[in-house]
Amino acid sequence: MRAHFEKVTSGSASLLAFERVDMEFPFYWHYHPEFELTLIVDSQGQRLVGDGIGDYGPGDLVLLGSNLPHSWRSGPVRMAEQRCHRAVVIQFREDFLGPDFFHIPEMEPILRLLQRSACGLAFGHTPSGRIAAAKMMEYLAQSPAQQIVELLEILLQLAFEADAEPLSTDRVRPMCRIEDQQRIDAVCAHFSAHFDEEIDYAELSEKLHMDQASLCRFFKRATGRTMTAYVNELRVGAAAQLLTTTDRSVLDIGFQVGFGNCSNFNRQFKRIKGYGPRTLRRQFRSHTEPEFALLRETRSESPSSRTRA
């Protein structure tokens, strides 16, 4: 997907840390030269990084490399619960401590970590990730000098984690032609708004003043997947949220997110997730309170907030 370039404003600071708080995390496909650590404190939805789409929830911890397109897209606004979506975000450049700091021998593990993060790395499921997440929960209450030291400790902790999950391939890179960016934004916005309906690709092509074959090639080149595959991933992600947050039947959920029949829903869900929808619901219900549920109860007060990561 074509991504917006985001200018990260940090003033005279070497890094930027903030709590992201909003009634929802809307789809906003963007990139920036800064590395980014994002810890989900209280939110649930889909995480889009490069050409990878995955589900996220409380405790999700991700390190994004420089200029890697990404977006978090939360589930429905939970007005009845009176709860906001929350995340702690740290953004920094590789040279924020000087052009050669991470190239000295002592920093080699962190440099390798930053290089590996070019495709995005998820740590929330790992022991090191849980330790790093606990540190990030206290991060915003620290002084600027303490934050620098703590960031290095977090990165060093993650550098030795062997079970980090790559989130993308190297097929997607930022592309800066304004007309292409606007076009892919329109396609993705249309899919995000209408994935639970039958998609009329011919009508969408006409709206964008492209023939359907050209639009298919354009989308595949930008995202590494076909439009149909992308829509199915959006549908399966929405279905996964409903399976874990409602008691609606699997059949009803399949129809609600846009699948025309149960067999196709089950087939696509298993292809994308690796297991069926009933398996997800059964496994979710068999677990007790997640380890990171305490994040919602122990989040520290933040002196600052932003609404975009």
- Distances 302 to 58, 108, 141, 222 between C-alpha atoms, Å: 18, 32, 7, 37
Residue 136 in contact with residue 87, Cβ under 8 Å?
Answer: no
Sequence letter at residue 73: R
Task: Report the pLDDT value the prediction gives residue 35, as an integer from 0 to 100.
Answer: 95
Residue 86 in contact with residue 24, Cβ under 8 Å?
Answer: no
Give the residue carrying structure tokens 């997607």: 172
Instruction: Give dist(CA 88, CA 61) in Å, integer.
Output: 10
Enumerate the domain spans of the chain: 4-170, 178-286
Task: Report the pLDDT value the prediction gives residue 186, as an integer from 0 to 100.
Answer: 82
Instruction: Give dist(CA 4, CA 185) in Å, integer.
Output: 9
Residue spans of the chain under pLDDT 70: 1-14, 76-83, 170-179, 181, 223-224, 284, 286-309
**HEC states along 258-299?**
CCCCHHHHHHHHHHHHCCCHHHHHHHHHHCCCCHHHHHHHHC
Q: What is the pLDDT of residues 7-18, one digit of tens each?
A: 454 444 568 999
Task: Report the pLDDT value the prediction gives residue 5, as an integer from 0 to 100.
Answer: 46
Which three-class secondary structure state does DSSP give residue 91?
strand
Task: Report the pLDDT value the prediction gives residue 39, as an integer from 0 to 100.
Answer: 97
Task: Report the pLDDT value the prediction gives residue 101, as an integer from 0 to 100.
Answer: 95
Task: Single out the residue of 163, 155, 160, 169 nearest to residue 119, CA to CA.
Answer: 169
Domain 178-286 has CATH 1.10.10.10: no
Q: What is the pLDDT of residues 66-94, one digit of tens each?
A: 888 888 888 755 444 556 889 999 999 99
Task: Report the pLDDT value the prediction gives residue 272, as an integer from 0 to 100.
Answer: 84
Fold type of domain 4-170: Jelly Rolls (2.60.120)
